[in-house]
C-alpha cells in the first residue's frame, strides 16, 4: 500500500536543505519586486518618514540614485509617488497636469540616466495634488464626481506617458477610467505604455502611513468609501477586475495585500492574467514595529510574507521592503 505511513513519510523530503530547495513549489526572486518611492522637492534631500521606519522621501537627484540601486539589485520596476508642496495643491488638483511637476521631473531624470534598464510605474490619482485629499474632483457636498475626474485622470496619464512612464497605474477607482486612458494612450501613439489597474482597491485601514508620506492625511475630508471597495466584498472585486481587463488593462492589482490573499487567488484562478499585490504602508509598518519591539525577525518575516503573495498567485509585489528583500535573495 502507498500513500500511508510509514510507506509515505512526508518529512522525508524536508530532512535536508538541498531537498527542501528541490521540492519548493514557490520561488521568490528580486525580479518579482516593485519598489515604491516617494519624491520631494529640493536637491540632495532625504526626508525620513516617521510613520514608515526606514523609508524616506527623496529629491529627484537622489531618486535617480535609488533607481541605480534598484538596477544593481535586480529590481525591475520602481513605483513613483510625489509629495506635492502644499502651495501647489488645489481644489481641482491641477498640478497633476503640469508637465514639470515632481512626478514628470523624476521620470525624465531616471530615464535620462538609465533608459530601459529600469521600468517606471506611475500613480494616477488626484489625491497627491488636491487640497481636500480625495482622489478626484468633488462637488459642494464633498462627493467625488466620477466622469469629471476621469477627464482629469486622462490628462494626468498622458502627462506621465509623455514624460516617459512605462506603466500607468490608476489607483483612483473611478468607473470607466481604464477605457478612457487606454483610448487616449493609443490616440497619442503610446501603444506600448502599459496599464496596471488598481482594480480591487479596498477602503482599508492599512493606508495611514502612506497618506503621511504623500502629505494628504491631514487634508483628507471624509473617507473614500464611495469609490474604494468594501473590505467585506469578494464578488464585487471580480466584477471590477473583469471590467478593467475588458477596458484595456494589461495587468491588475489587489490592494492591500496580506489581508486579501483570498482575493488574489480568486482573481488569478478566474481570469488567468498577471495579478500584482501591494504590500501597503500599514503592512510594512506592522513588520517594522514588531521588529523594533523584539517580537519578530525582520529577514524571516519579509521573505515569508512576500512568498505568501507569490503562493497565492501574485506575479509580483509592490513592497517598501524591496531593496532589503532583494539583498536577502541575492545572498
Residue ranges of the annotated binding site for Mg(2+) are 240
User: Residue written as cell 500513500?
Assistant: 3
- The dihedral through the CA atoms of 229, 238, 128, 176 has a sign that is negative
What are the helix (H) ranges across 164-249?
177-187, 208-214, 235-247
For residue 78, give every residue at least 6 positions away whose Cβ sits within 8 Å of its Cβ, in sequence order, or none: 34, 35, 36, 37, 66, 67, 70, 110, 118, 119, 120, 121
**Among 201, 224, 268, 310, the one annotated catalytic:** 201
Q: Please pick, among 111, 224, 255, 310, the residue that the annotation labels catalytic.
A: 255
236, β-bridge pairs = none
State yes or no: is 148 an active-site residue.
no
Beta strands in the chain (DSSP E): 33-40, 46-48, 56-59, 77-82, 119-124, 167-170, 194-201, 251-255, 275-279, 316-319
Report how far residue 302's alpha carbon sits from residue 321's, in angstroms, rounded to the nearest whole number. 7
Binding residues: 240
User: Does the annotation count 201 as an active-site position?
Assistant: yes
Q: Fill in the DSSP letter of residue 24.
A: -
Annotated catalytic residues are 201, 255
Amino acid at each position: 500500500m502507498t500513500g500511508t505511513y510509514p510507506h509515505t513519510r512526508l518529512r522525508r523530503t524536508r530532512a535536508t536543505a538541498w531537498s527542501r530547495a528541490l521540492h519548493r513549489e514557490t520561488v521568490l526572486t528580486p525580479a518579482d519586486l516593485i519598489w515604491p518611492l516617494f519624491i520631494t522637492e529640493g536637491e540632495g534631500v532625504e526626508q525620513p518618514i516617521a510613520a514608515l521606519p526606514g523609508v524616506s522621501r527623496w529629491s529627484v537627484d537622489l531618486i535617480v540614485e535609488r533607481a541605480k540601486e534598484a538596477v544593481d539589485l535586480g529590481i525591475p520596476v520602481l513605483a513613483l509617488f510625489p509629495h506635492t508642496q502644499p502651495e501647489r495643491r488645489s481644489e481641482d488638483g491641477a498640478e497633476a497636469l503640469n508637465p514639470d511637476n515632481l512626478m514628470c521631473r523624476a521620470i525624465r531624470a531616471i530615464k535620462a540616466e538609465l533608459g530601459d534598464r529600469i521600468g517606471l510605474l506611475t500613480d494616477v490619482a488626484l489625491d497627491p495634488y488636491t487640497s481636500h485629499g480625495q482622489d478626484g474632483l468633488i462637488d459642494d457636498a464633498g462627493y467625488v464626481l466620477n466622469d469629471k475626474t476621469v477627464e482629469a485622470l486622462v490628462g494626468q496619464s498622458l502627462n506621465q506617458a509623455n514624460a516617459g512612464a512605462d506603466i500607468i497605474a490608476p489607483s483612483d477607482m473611478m468607473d470607466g477610467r481604464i477605457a478612457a486612458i487606454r483610448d487616449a494612450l493609443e490616440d497619442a501613439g503610446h501603444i506600448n505604455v502599459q496599464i496596471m489597474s488598481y482594480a480591487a482597491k479596498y477602503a482599508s485601514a492599512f493606508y495611514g502611513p502612506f497618506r503621511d508620506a504623500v502629505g494628504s492625511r491631514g487634508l483628507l475630508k471624509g473617507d473614500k468609501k464611495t469609490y474604494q471597495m468594501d473590505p467585506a466584498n469578494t464578488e464585487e472585486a471580480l466584477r471590477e477586475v473583469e471590467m478593467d481587463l475588458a477596458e484595456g488593462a494589461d495587468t491588475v492589482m489587489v490592494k492591500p495585500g496580506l489581508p486579501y490573499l483570498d482575493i488574489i487567488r480568486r482573481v488569478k484562478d478566474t481570469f488567468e492574467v498577471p495579478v500584482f499585490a501591494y504590500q501597503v504602508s500599514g503592512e510594512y509598518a506592522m513588520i517594522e514595529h514588531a521588529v523594533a519591539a523584539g517580537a519578530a525577525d525582520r529577514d524571516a518575516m519579509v521573505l515569508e510574507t512576500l512568498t505568501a503573495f507569490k503562493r497565492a498567485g501574485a506575479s509580483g509585489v509592490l513592497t517598501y521592503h524591496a531593496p532589503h528583500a532583494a539583498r536577502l535573495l541575492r545572498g
